[in-house]
C-alpha cells in the first residue's frame, strides 16, 4: 500500500478551495501513512481537498473544460465562432486538432481529471482498508463523497473524450499505461459506485457538512446517478466507431430509465430540495449563499481567487465599473435563435438571454449576440478584484434537472399522463401568471408519448440554456446533427428575416432609463415593428444582424465545420498519445 504522500502537500495548498479550509488536529506528520490518514476523519477530509484541488487548477475545469465543453449547439455558442481557425473556436466547431494549443499540454483538463481520479482511487482503497466505514459515519460520508467526485470526473471525461481509459484502482507498474475502454465499462462502474455512495451519504442539511452545496450529499449522488443512467441508456459513439445504443443488456434503455425514475422520485419524495422562482435561483447562486436544500444540488467550489464562470460565461463588462474590477464576460453566449424560442411571457427568457453589455457602468445593446444572464457581476455581493478569476462556483446540478429527468423517464416507462405533473412543475414556474397557457401547453405535450418526448427536448433547452447540458443531451437522443442543422437554417432565416422571423424589425431601438444605467430596448419581440420603434421616443437605434461585410465566413457556416456526428467528442491530445507507450490512439474517436 502506497504512503499517501500528496496529503503532506495539500494540507497547506487548499486555501483557494472555499468550504475546505479545515484546522486539522493531526498526528505528527511522520506518522502519516495510509492507516493513519484513512482512520482519522480530519485527515481523510484533506483527501477530499486534494481531489478538489485538481478541479480548480488553471487548465482544468476553471479555464478549459467549463468554457470549451458544450458549445456549439442549438442553445449555446462560442461568441467568436466566426474565427473558425482559432484554437478555441476549433474546440467547439467539430473540427478539433489533436495538437490544439488550448488543450495539448501536460497540465490540461485530461491530465487534471486523471490526477484527481488517482487521488480518489488511493483514498477509496485507503478508506475501505482502514476507515471502518460501517461504524464510522464521518468516514462513511467521506467515502461517499469521494466515490461521487470520481463519478463527476469520469462523467466529464466521457462527455469530453468519449471512450477513455477506465482506471478504478491506484496505478501500479503493470497498469501505468492503459488503452481506452468502451464507455459501457465506465458507466457500469459509476452506476454501482453512485448506488454505494448514496447509501453512505446524508441528505442535505442532515449533518453540518451537508448544509452547504460545496459538499456532496445523498440527493446529488442520486441525481448524478440518474443523469448517468440516461447517458448510458442513450446513443453515443462506441469504441467500435458506431453511434448506437449500448449492446450490454445491463445498460438497456428500459433499465436505465428505471434507474433514473427511481433516483429522481427518491429525491423528489424526500422533500429535501425545492424549486425557487427562476430569477431567484440565479440571484441566490450569484449571491454565493451556498445553502443546501434549495435548488442548487452541488457546486464545484472555487474561492474568490479562482474560477472563471462570469469571466467566460457571464454578461460582458467592456470596462471596469462599480460592479467589477475586471472587464470580462461573454466568451460563450446564447445561440441567437434561442432567444426567439422563448415566448415573451416566459420568465426564463430575460434571466437567461441578455441583449446588452456594460460600458462605463451603463448597459449598451449588442447586435447579433446574447450573453448568458445567469452569471452576472452585478448580482455578486462582492467586488471582483482579480484580473483573471471571479471565484463564482459552477452549479453542477439543480433540482429542476431532477424533475425533468423524472418526467422524461416516467414518460418512457409509464406514458405521458404519469409524467405530466413533473413537466408541469417546471412549466408553471416559467409562466407564473398564466395558468391557462400552461394548461394548453400540457394538453398538447401530453397527447402522446412522442409529443411528450419532443416537449422534453424543447423544455430542457429553455430551462438549461447556459448550463452546458445541451450537447450531451443531444448526443444521447441522437439529435446532435439534426438540431445543429435546424439551428443553421434558423440562423440564416433570422438574418434574412424569413420564415417565422419575417416580421421582426430590422433594427432595435433603445434609450437609457432614468436610473442612468439600465437600457430599454424595443424590437426584439414578435409583434414589434420598425414603424412603432421610430415613433417610440427612443434616442438611438442599431440594425440587428448576424452578418458583416468583413465576414470571411457567415455565422451559420461557422457553427460547425464537419458533420457534428462525425466528431461529437474531442480527440485525445497528441501529448498524451506520445506519452502512452503506444496504448492510446484516436481510432474511431
DSSP code of residue 321: B
Residue 21 has pLDDT above 70, yes or no: no
Structure confidence at residue 5 as a pLDDT band (50, 70, 90): very low
Residue 16 has pLDDT above 80, yes or no: no
The pLDDT of residue 32: 62
pTM score of the predicted model: 0.94
Q: Are strands 353-354 and 76-78 parallel, antiparallel or unpaired?
A: unpaired
Helices (H), 162-299: 183-200, 218-232, 253-270, 278-286
Cβ burial, residue 517 (10 Å; 0-12/13-18/19+): middle
In whole angstroms, give the CA distance from residue 285 to residue 394: 9
Q: Are strands 519-522 and 507-512 parallel, antiparallel or unpaired?
A: antiparallel
Average pLDDT for residues 470-486, to the nearest whole number? 98
pLDDT in tens, 224-249: 999 999 999 999 999 999 999 999 99
Helices (H), 382-536: 399-414, 416-430, 435-445, 449-464, 470-476, 480-496, 530-534
The pLDDT of residue 18: 33
Percentage of the chain lying above the pLDDT 70 cut: 95
In whole angstroms, give the CA distance from residue 572 to residue 473: 22
Structure confidence at residue 550 as a pLDDT band (50, 70, 90): confident
Residue 262 has pLDDT above 50, yes or no: yes
Nearest Cα residue to 357 out of 343, 372, 344, 346:
372
Average pLDDT for residues 184-199, to the nearest whole number? 98
Structure confidence at residue 304 as a pLDDT band (50, 70, 90): confident
Distances, alpha carbon 265 to alpha carbons 220, 269, 414, 519, 573, in Å: 13, 6, 14, 43, 40
Nearest Cα residue to 250 out of 185, 294, 312, 300:
185
The pLDDT of residue 417: 98
Residue 17 has pLDDT above 60, yes or no: no
In whole angstroms, give the CA distance from residue 290 to residue 299: 8
pLDDT in tens, 415-438: 999 999 999 999 999 999 999 999
12 vs 473, more confident: 473
Q: Which three cell numbers stand for residue 264?
A: 429522481
Amino acid at each position: 500500500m502506497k504512503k499517501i504522500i500528496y496529503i503532506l502537500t495539500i494540507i497547506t495548498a487548499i486555501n483557494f478551495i472555499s468550504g475546505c479550509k479545515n484546522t486539522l488536529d493531526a498526528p505528527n506528520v511522520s506518522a502519516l501513512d495510509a492507516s493513519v490518514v484513512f482512520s482519522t476523519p480530519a485527515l481523510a477530509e484533506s483527501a477530499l481537498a486534494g481531489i478538489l484541488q485538481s478541479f480548480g487548477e488553471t487548465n482544468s475545469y476553471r479555464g478549459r473544460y467549463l468554457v470549451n465543453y458544450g458549445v456549439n449547439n442549438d442553445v449555446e455558442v462560442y461568441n467568436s465562432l466566426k474565427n473558425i481557425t482559432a484554437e478555441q473556436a476549433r474546440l467547439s466547431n467539430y473540427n478539433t486538432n489533436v495538437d490544439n494549443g488550448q488543450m495539448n499540454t501536460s497540465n490540461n483538463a485530461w491530465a487534471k481529471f486523471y490526477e484527481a481520479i488517482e487521488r480518489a482511487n488511493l483514498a477509496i482503497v485507503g478508506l475501505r482498508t482502514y476507515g471502518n466505514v460501517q461504524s464510522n459515519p464521518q468516514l462513511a460520508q467521506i467515502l461517499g463523497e469521494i466515490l461521487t467526485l470520481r463519478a463527476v470526473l469520469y462523467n466529464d471525461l466521457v462527455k469530453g473524450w468519449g471512450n477513455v481509459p477506465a482506471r478504478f484502482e491506484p496505478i501500479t507498474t503493470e497498469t501505468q499505461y492503459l488503452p481506452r475502454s468502451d464507455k459501457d465499462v465506465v458507466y457500469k462502474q459509476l452506476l454501482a459506485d453512485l448506488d454505494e455512495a448514496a447509501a453512505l451519504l446524508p441528505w442535505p442539511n442532515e449533518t453540518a457538512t451537508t448544509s452547504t452545496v460545496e459538499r456532496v450529499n445523498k440527493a446529488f449522488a442520486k441525481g448524478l446517478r440518474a443523469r448517468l443512467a440516461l447517458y448510458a441508456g442513450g446513443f453515443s459513439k462506441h469504441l467500435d466507431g458506431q453511434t448506437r445504443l449500448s449492446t450490454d443488456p445491463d445498460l438497456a434503455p428500459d433499465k436505465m430509465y428505471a434507474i433514473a425514475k427511481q433516483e429522481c422520485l427518491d429525491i423528489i419524495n424526500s422533500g429535501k430540495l425545492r424549486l425557487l422562482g427562476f430569477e431567484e435561483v440565479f440571484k441566490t447562486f450569484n449571491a454565493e449563499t451556498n445553502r443546501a436544500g434549495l435548488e442548487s444540488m452541488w457546486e464545484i467550489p472555487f474561492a474568490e481567487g479562482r474560477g472563471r464562470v462570469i469571466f467566460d460565461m457571464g454578461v460582458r463588462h467592456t470596462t471596469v465599473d462599480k460592479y467589477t474590477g475586471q472587464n470580462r464576460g461573454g466568451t460563450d453566449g446564447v445561440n441567437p435563435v434561442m432567444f426567439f424560442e422563448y415566448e415573451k411571457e416566459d420568465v426564463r427568457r430575460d434571466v437567461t438571454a441578455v441583449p446588452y453589455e456594460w460600458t462605463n457602468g451603463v448597459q449598451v445593446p449588442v447586435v447579433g449576440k446574447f450573453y448568458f444572464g445567469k452569471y452576472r457581476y452585478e448580482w455578486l455581493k462582492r467586488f471582483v478584484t482579480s484580473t483573471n478569476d471571479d471565484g463564482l462556483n459552477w452549479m453542477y446540478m439543480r433540482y429542476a434537472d431532477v424533475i425533468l429527468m423524472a418526467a422524461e423517464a416516467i414518460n418512457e416507462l409509464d406514458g405521458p399522463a404519469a409524467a405530466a405533473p413533473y413537466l408541469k412543475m417546471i412549466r408553471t414556474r416559467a409562466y407564473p401568471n398564466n395558468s391557462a397557457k400552461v394548461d394548453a401547453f400540457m394538453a398538447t405535450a401530453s397527447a402522446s408519448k412522442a409529443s411528450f418526448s419532443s416537449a422534453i427536448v424543447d423544455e430542457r433547452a429553455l430551462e438549461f440554456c447556459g448550463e452546458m447540458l445541451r450537447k450531451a443531451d443531444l448526443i444521447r437522443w441522437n439529435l446532435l446533427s439534426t438540431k445543429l442543422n435546424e439551428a443553421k437554417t434558423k440562423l440564416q432565416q433570422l438574418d434574412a428575416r424569413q420564415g417565422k422571423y419575417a416580421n421582426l424589425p430590422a433594427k432595435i431601438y433603445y434609450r437609457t432609463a432614468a436610473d442612468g444605467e439600465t437600457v430599454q430596448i424595443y424590437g426584439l419581440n414578435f409583434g414589434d415593428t420598425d414603424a412603432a420603434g421610430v415613433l417610440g421616443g427612443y434616442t438611438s437605434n442599431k440594425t440587428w444582424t448576424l452578418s458583416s461585410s468583413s465576414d470571411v465566413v457567415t455565422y451559420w457556416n461557422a457553427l460547425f465545420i464537419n458533420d457534428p456526428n462525425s466528431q461529437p467528442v474531442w480527440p485525445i491530445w497528441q501529448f498524451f498519445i506520445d506519452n502512452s507507450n503506444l496504448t492510446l490512439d484516436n481510432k474511431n474517436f
